[in-house]
């Protein structure tokens, strides 16, 4: 597939060495996994859709001054990104109850939360990404207090911005997961948004019907995943013609 040096392979993406020092190439695979990779399938075209949707979102975030690792999309499945040191946290922002918060706290799916809630999970597949408190994060040096402050502020800003972008196209941003990294620039270290933002990492519901337009379709064996992702991309104006989605 590629003669470039592979740096890391995850469940849905591969990182290759970039063309210049300090850059990487992020390749989006068609693999879908859930429940800590116990469930796996190949969904043709998913990588192409996530590459485009994540490009759109990261590009907009860059343009409003939210620092991200994203530089530019290279082709159907790849984007050029800045190399960062990933902070080992999954940062989840929730607006509406669904998934694990509904299960754990017994809140009905679909209930609007009293305010947006930010949660932290320690990125560790062997442990199943356990939820952790700020106390654990700073005590075990996964991130500093300053980094956590930056992450909180960025996560809430991203939530406000994305909630607006999606609301404008009739989609409710129920919840989503973010990852952050350390960008080293000479003597300076900056906290920047990394990874991807796509329907793999968000819950997106149609505002009228509450139809799921995200990875829950895969988790819950509902089918129609690539059609749902194509719908999200089309509503965001990424594809003028939905039939051309996979030729972009």
Phi and psi angles of residue 170, each rounded to the nearest 5 degrees, phi first:
70, 30
Q: Does 215 bind ligand UDP (CB under 6 A)?
A: yes
CA nearest 85: which of 159, 200, 195, 177? 195
| 59, HSE (Cβ side, Cα atoms, 13 Å) | 12
Q: Does 99 bind ligand UDP (CB under 6 A)?
A: yes
Which residues, including other chains, have CB under 8 Å from residue 225's CB and lie 6 or more apart? 32, 43, 46, 215, 217, 218
Site map (CB under 6 A) of ligand UDP, residues 59-98, x = contact: -------------------------------x-x------
Residue 18 or 173: the one with the smaller Cβ distance to ligand UDP is 173
Output the smallest distance, CB 233 to ligand UDP, in A. Answer: 17
Binding residue for ligand UDP, selected from 73, 77, 172, 177, defined by CB under 6 A: 177
Site map (CB under 6 A) of ligand UDP, residues 183-212, x = contact: ------------------xxx---------
Interface contacts to ligand UDP, rule CB under 6 A: 90, 92, 99-100, 129, 175-177, 201-203, 215
């Amino acid at each position: 597939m590629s003669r470039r040096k592979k740096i890391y392979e995850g469940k849905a993406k591969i990182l290759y060495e970039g063309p210049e020092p300090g850059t990487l190439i992020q390749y989006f695979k068609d693999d879908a996994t859930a429940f800590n990779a116990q469930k796996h399938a190949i969904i043709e075209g998913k990588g192409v859709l996530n590459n485009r949707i994540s490009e759109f979102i990261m590009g907009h975030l860059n343009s409003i001054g939210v620092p991200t690792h994203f530089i530019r999309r290279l082709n159907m499945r790849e984007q050029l990104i800045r190399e960062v040191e990933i902070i080992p946290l999954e940062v989840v922002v929730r607006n509406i109850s669904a998934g694990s918060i509904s299960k754990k706290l017994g809140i009905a799916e679909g209930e609007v939360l009293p305010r947006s809630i930010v949660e932290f999970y320690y990125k560790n597949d062997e442990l199943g990404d356990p939820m952790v408190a700020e106390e654990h994060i700073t005590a075990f040096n996964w991130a500093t207090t300053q980094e956590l402050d930056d992450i909180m502020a960025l996560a809430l800003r991203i939530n406000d911005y994305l909630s607006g972008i999606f609301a404008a196209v009739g989609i409710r941003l129920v919840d989503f997961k973010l990852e952050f990294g350390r960008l080293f620039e000479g003597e300076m270290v900056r906290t920047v948004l990394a990874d991807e933002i796509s329907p793999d990492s968000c819950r997106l519901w149609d505002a009228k019907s509450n139809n799921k337009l995200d990875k829950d379709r895969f988790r819950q064996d509902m089918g129609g995943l690539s059609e749902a992702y194509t719908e999200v991309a089309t509503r965001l104006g990424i594809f003028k013609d939905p039939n051309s989605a996979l030729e972009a």
